[in-house]
Structure formats: C-alpha cells, structure tokens
Structure 1
C-alpha cells in the first residue's frame, strides 16, 4: 500500500503542476542563496546576519493569517534593520556607501526569496513525500546551479586554489545536510517555525566573526539585534494559523509548551 502511494505521488509530480512548482522553487532557492552569498562582497558579516533575519516576517506574511502581535513583531524587526543600516552607513565605514547599500539590498532580497522558497516548500509537502521532493529539487537545483556558476564565475572557478576548494567542499557538505533536514522540519512545523529556529545560527555567526577575524562589535549591533529578537519573540508567544491547499487550517503555537 505504501509503495502504491509513493508511486502515485511520483506520477502526480511528473505529470502535474507540482513538478513545475518544484522546478520554480529550485530556481527561487538557488537565487536566494546566490544573493546572500554575493552580499558578503559588499557588506560586513554582522550586517548581513541581521538583514537575513527579515526572512521570518517575510515567511509570516506569505504563509499565515497573522494577528496584531505579529504586526508589532514585524515592526520591531524592521526598526532593528533600519537602525542597523543608518548606523553602519557612515563615512567612517571602510566600505563606501553605495557598496554597503548594494550588499544590504542583496541580503534582504535573498531573505525574501528564501522565505518564499520555504513557503512554497511547505505547500508542496502536502502533495509529495519528503524524499521525492528532495530528489527532484536537488536534481533541478544541481542543473541550474552548475549552469549559473559556469556562466557567471567560470574565470574564478578555474583559478581556485586548493585551500579555497577545501572550504567550498565543507560549505557544500553543510548545505547538503541542511537541505536534507529542512523538509522534515517544515513537515512537522511550518516555514516560519523553521526560520525562527535558524535565528540561533546568527548568534553563532556573530561569535565566530569576533573570534576568527579578531573584530570588535560596536554597541549598536547589539541594539539592532535586540530589536530584531524582541520582534521575533512575539512570534513565539503568539499562535499562528496556516492553511493548506484544501483550505484546512493548521495551528502552531511556537513556544516551549507541548500542544494539547
């Protein structure tokens, strides 16, 4: 029976609109990663980390029926981002204003596309199994990714030394593990819950940035980060309601208490 259901799912994916959505989502996810990685060429790690936290309110707007508390949380997140941009974009900054703003726009654009990809993924998992989805997304993502890499960065790839190749291999391994686990997290929670959980990586990034690069974080980074966290905390305290394709509601209370 399970085999028949899996075969039916695969047939539906290959012959229906679901396949087109998976292909589209592979492109969206690829470009989200491309924008975020490219943004590191123009803005600092700490700025990009905070800008990427906008993925959460983006995901909330796309996938849920939100309440007053959600609006307040989004406002706090936006205030934190605006405060970050205003404070960092100063003449004393090593990066020029235009370069910094370009990096921030790329990071926010990547956050938006990443939220969109997670929301579409949550929708698709109502129709296909996690393994089928992972297989198809990986196949199309690999094709598009290799094509785009050679089209835009062939010169850099051919001049890559062994040390950079090693870092790239570890990065690819980390991405592989991450994308293998994401569908299961979304399947049992939601796209917003996933992005909230990923906020912990921002803290690790900031700590690693200070240790590896011997950098001192300015006080206003922590002010911006506190505003963002304050907004996001409201999402933990306020239940969200999402709707699947059949119009049935799914309620999530994102907190440390178990559902009753």
Structure 2
C-alpha cells in the first residue's frame, strides 16, 4: 500500500469517527469544562429531588402528582404571568392561538413521564429502573436524527456505550452491596412503565430542544407551567385527593415539600439553558451521574454501603460524556445546498468546539436583543 493510499484511508476513517478537523490539544476547552460543570449541576438538582422524595416516602408521604402540580404551579405563577404582560407576537394569547397543541403535547409527555417512572417503583426493582431508564438516550438520538436532522459520528455512539458501561458498573455495585429497592409484584408492568417514561421523556426533551433553540426560554417555561398545571391538576383530582388529604402536616413535611418544589423549579428553569448550549442527548448523558450523587448522599442519610465501583462508574460516565461533547455533531444539509454546506464546513476553523461556542454565543446575543 503506497503512502498516498494509506493517507486517504486514514483520512476517511478520521472523518467517519469525527476527528477529521479535530485538534487533540484543544480537548479541555473552556466550553467543554463549562458543559461538564453545567451537566453536573443538573445532576445535583435531580439528586436533590430524589433525596427529598425518599425523605418524604420515609415520612409516609407518597404524592408524586401533587409534588409535580406544585412545581408546575410555581412555573405558572412566574413565567406564565410574565408572558401575560408581553405585547405583540410574544403575547400569551398569540402563542395559544398558533402553538397551543404543540405545548399541550410537550406538557402531556412531561407530566406522564414523571408519573410513569414514579409508579414503576411500585411494581419493579430499582435495578430495572436504572437500566431501562437509559433507553431514553437511544430514543433521543433517533428522534434527533429524524426530526432535528442531527448527524452523529462513530465517536458519539462509542461515547454512549461508554456511559452505559458506567451505568452497568453502578448497577453492579448496587447488586454487590445488596441494595435492593422497589418491588417485584408486577415486574413486567413496572418495566413497561419505565420504558414508557423513557419514550415520553425523549419526546418531551426533543421538543424542548427544538423550542429553546428556535424560540424563547420564557415562552417554553411559561407554556410548560400553564399546560403542566392543568394536566397534573386533573390527575391530582382523580388519583391523589385521598393521599393528599391524609398527609399529617408538620414543620418537617412542609420543609421537605418546600425544598422539593424549590429544587424542581430550579431544575426546570436551568435545564433549557443547558439544552440550548448543548443538546438534549448530551444533557441526558450528563444526568446519568444523578443516581451516583444520590448514592453518595445515601451513604450519610440512609446508611448505604460504599463500593469503589461507584467511583469507577462516575469516572467512566464522565469520560463518555467528554467523548460525546469533544466532537460536535453536524446537521444534514438540504439536498439542494450540499455544495454550500461543504464549502462552509471547509472554511470553518480547525477547532470545532470553538466554532460551536461562537455560534451558541451569537444565538444567545441575538435572542437577548429580541
């Protein structure tokens, strides 16, 4: 094989893997470090909701729909109220006239995803939930491919496999530590609920990504607050009226409810910002560490047994997350502009992360001006 042929094959392989214009000296850029940090902030927030839910459950309070209703109501009182003060095309009446059905679908998917995964704990084990909940990632990638026209490279698929390997290590640590939670009363039903919640989360997240990257964050959160409150309010009235009325309110219960709602409000307010800067798939990869943060908290609060596999799992997930974000995805060009797309790609800088960062900053600046 001559040198020219070898060089051509290496170039094709690098392009397929996503390294054709990548400089390994620029791996740990400020953008990548910021992406990792923001993702772990989201994981910590989810950890906070998990811990408060566990503390409420220990206090014999199991009202997932009521808790969601409080969160959506807080979004309604802030973001939806702000939308009501807008004038022109951004007014809430104009949004409802043109986009009501889109936000209805998003709100329904989000509410039911939360409800399905919580109900799954009554029928299946924590191990099944941790494993099957990862199904959201391939579903998200498929939806992104078809609806967002996102094109992944080989390194992205390898990165996802690395992250899932980290989840496997976490589940293995749970098994070795004998930490079994949940139920086995109807495993098939419970597993089906987890898969359903993963699909609904994927639908909700891909809609969220499309909305926040092409519109206003306030509009998205305001509409989620409006439709989320309506949908969860109806389900609350149907399914949890008795459970809420039987709560024995005291200072501790009120504090836990307040803490849970505050964390959820922060999560819902902050997550669209991170999705806009990265992608729904990248965000969900970073959220795989949330269970590990919950486990670390459980070492002190619930006396879980420590395993070194937890640390290995965390490290593996972070490595996979870095692999996924270090090479940016691309978008499929329209059929009639493939040549223009190729020319634009050829004229870009040698550091794709810097290009992506500049595009994100430009988008945010334009959005703020509007």
User: How high is the TM-score relative to the length of structure 1?
Assistant: 0.73
1:67 corresponds to which of 141, 148, 153:
153
Instruction: Establish whether residue 151 from structure 1 lines up as the match of residue 238 from structure 2.
Output: yes
Of 172, 187, 190 in structure 1, the residue corresponding to residue 279 of structure 2 is 190
Counterpart of 1:123 (choices 197, 207, 210) is 210
> Structure 1 or 2: larger helix share?
2
* Structure 1 unmatched runs, 5+: none
In the comparison of the two structures, how many residue pairs are matched? 252
Note the C-alpha offset of 1:157.
Answer: 1.2
**What's the CA shift for 1:144?**
0.6
CA distance in 1, matches of 2:322, 2:197: 22
Q: Would you say 1:32 and 2:113 are equivalent positions?
A: yes
Cα distance, 1:207 vs. partner? 0.5
The Cα of 1:244 is off from its aligned counterpart by: 11
User: Does structure 1 conserve the Cα–Cα contact (< 8 Å) formed by 2:112 and 2:200?
Assistant: yes
> Helix, strand or coil: the match of 2:330?
strand
Distance 1:255 1:118, change over 3 A: same
Aligned to 1:235: 324
Other-structure match for 1:206? 295
CA radius of gyration, larger in = 2
CA distance in 1, matches of 2:141, 2:168: 19
Give the match for residue 181 of structure 1.
270
C-alpha separation between the residues in 2 aligned to 1:229 and 1:101? Answer: 31
Q: Distance in 1 between matches of 2:274 and 2:179?
A: 43
Q: Matches of residues 86-165 of structure 1 in structure 2 within 5 Å?
A: 88=175, 97-99=184-186, 102-162=189-249, 163-165=252-254
Contact 1:235 1:254 (8 Å CA) reproduced: no
Q: Residues 44, 214 of structure 1: CA spacing in aligned structure 2 closer, same or farther, 3 A cutoff? A: farther
- 178 and 254 in structure 1: CA distance in 2 versus 1, 3 angstrom threshold: farther
Deviates more, 1:76-85 or 1:171-180: 76-85
Shift in Å, 1:117: 0.9
CA distance in 2: counterparts of 1:143 and 1:258, whole angstroms: 38
RMSD (Å), alpha carbons: 4.2
Query: Unpaired segments of 5 or more residues in structure 2?
Result: 1-85, 145-149, 346-350, 359-370
Instruction: Measure, in 2, the Cα distance between the counterparts of 1:226 and 1:107.
Output: 26
Query: Following the alignment from structure 1 to structure 2, what is the Cα–Cα distance between the partners of residues 215 and 100?
Result: 24
Retained in 1: the 8 A contact 2:151–2:329? yes
- C-alpha change, 1:96 and 1:197, in structure 2 (3 Å) is closer
* Residue deviations 1:216-241 (CA, integer Å, cap 9, x gap): 15676667666655544431333223
The verdict on how the C-alpha distance between 1:15 and 1:94 changes in structure 2, with shifts beyond 3 A counting, is: closer
Aligned pair in 2 of structure 1 residues 223, 183: CA closer, same or farther (>3 Å)?
closer
Q: What pairs up with 1:16-31 in 2 under 5 angstroms? A: 16=98, 18-31=99-112
- Superposition pairs for residues 237-252 of structure 1, below 5 Å? 237-242=326-331
Check whether the contact 1:6–1:129 (CA below 8 A) recurs between aligned residues.
Answer: no
Q: Normalised by the size of structure 2, how large is the TM-score?
A: 0.54
1:14 is aligned to: 96
CA distance in 1, matches of 2:306, 2:122: 19
Residues 1:169 and 2:258 aligned together: yes
Rounded Cα–Cα distance in structure 1 between residues aligned with 2:186 and 2:246: 25
